Amino acid sequence: MNTKQTIRHINGIEYILTRKSVKNVNLRLHKDGSVHVSANPRVPLYYIDNFVYGSRDFIAKARENITKSKEKCLIPTDFCDKAEFYFLGRQTIIKAVSKGEVKLDNNIVYIPANNGEAVRKHLLKWLNAQAALIFKQYVQETYREFRQHYNIPYPEITVRAMKSRWGSCRPDKAKITLNLMLLAAPPECIKYVTVHEFAHLLHPNHSKDFWNVVARFVPDYKDRRNALKSYQTI
């Protein structure tokens, strides 16, 4: 089947038109927000343009939903001035400056750099330092809470980027690993993951007893776990 694609514009809306043997004019949005329309070669262009413009509210709403559904990530897509990422649950903006130290102020991270590679280097170094500091605070707090009820050792803590898990635990070695990407999530989510891994020191599974331990320290753990679905690992 022969098809022909063209890019068209109607009152500020760009769409990709594919001519092929279809009965109706069909409009759909791809995950990148681009508008795709398929129509029979016999359908006049003015009719298709009017159809697309008449769908403008649907297009705007669909693009809004696409934006909302995008996972929030600690590492920005680009390492440049005004690039955005998430830090402790808040959208944060990079501001490249000529000198000084890396500093966070009112959801803006000031980075002394004049090119993308320098921004990347400074930002990753700062994020790793923040993860070590912030995760340590949650680990110490959670350890104190657990010790009031359970006889557990203070675990060895490591931080690294992981693809599929926010944390992991080796009960036999009393070792907990936290995902660097967790730093993108709100504090209550970091607390949940920390408690989750500490509970594995007592129950190396996801049994009812395990979840009872988690609920003891984080009663709303299901809400916090669901909130994490908006955030992205590597």
Q: Are 30 and 36 in contact (CB under 8 A)?
A: yes
Q: Are residue 120 and residue 133 in the same domain, yes or no? A: no
Tell me what the mean pLDDT of segment 22-42 comes to.
91
Residues sharing a CB contact under 8 Å with residue 69, sequence separation 6 or more, in sequence order: none
Mean pLDDT of all residues in 49-65: 92
What are 136's two structure tokens? 């340590």
- Give 183-205 pLDDT, tens digit per residue: 999 999 999 999 999 999 999 99
Contact 184, 156 (CB under 8 A): no
pLDDT of residue 7: 93
Token digits for 200?
């594995």
Same domain, 132 and 120: no
Asked, for residue 108, whether it belongs to a domain, the answer is yes
Structural domain includes residue 77: no
How high is the pLDDT of residue 67? 64
β-strands 175-179, 156-160 pairing: parallel
Q: Are residues 120 and 139 in the same domain?
A: no
**pLDDT confidence of residue 2:** 60
Query: Is there a single domain that holds both residue 119 and residue 176?
Result: no
Q: Is the pLDDT of residue 119 over 90?
A: yes
Does one domain contain both 134 and 122?
Answer: no
149, 199 contact by CB (below 8 A): no
> CA-CA distance, 86 to 69, in Å (whole number)?
15
Contact 158, 179 (CB under 8 A): no
60: in domain = yes
DSSP 178: E
Number of domains present in the structure of the chain: 3
Domain that holds residue 19: 4-69
Q: Are residues 118 and 148 in the same domain?
A: no
The answer to whether 208 touches 188, Cβ cutoff 8 Å, is no
If asked whether residues 140 and 188 sit together in one domain, one would say yes
Is 212 found in the same domain as 139?
yes
Residue pair 49/32 in contact (Cβ under 8 Å)? The answer is no
* R_g of the chain computed on alpha carbons: 24
Please indicate, yes or no, whether residues 181 and 95 belong to a single structural domain of this protein: no
pLDDT value of residue 147? 98
Query: Is 10 domain-assigned?
Result: yes
For residues 133 and 200, membership in a common domain is answered with yes
Question: Within its chain, how far is the Cα of 59 from the centroid?
Answer: 24
The CATH number of the domain holding residue 160 is 3.30.2010.10
Q: How confident is the model at residue 70 (pLDDT cuts 50, 70, 90)?
A: low
pTM above 0.85, yes or no: no
Q: Measure the CA–CA gap between 123 and 134, rounded to whole angstroms.
A: 16
Within a domain: 79: no
CB 71 within 8 Å of CB 230 = yes
User: Is residue 43 a part of any domain in this protein?
Assistant: yes
**Is there a domain that residue 74 lies in?**
no
* Gap between the Cα atoms of 100 and 136, Å rounded: 26
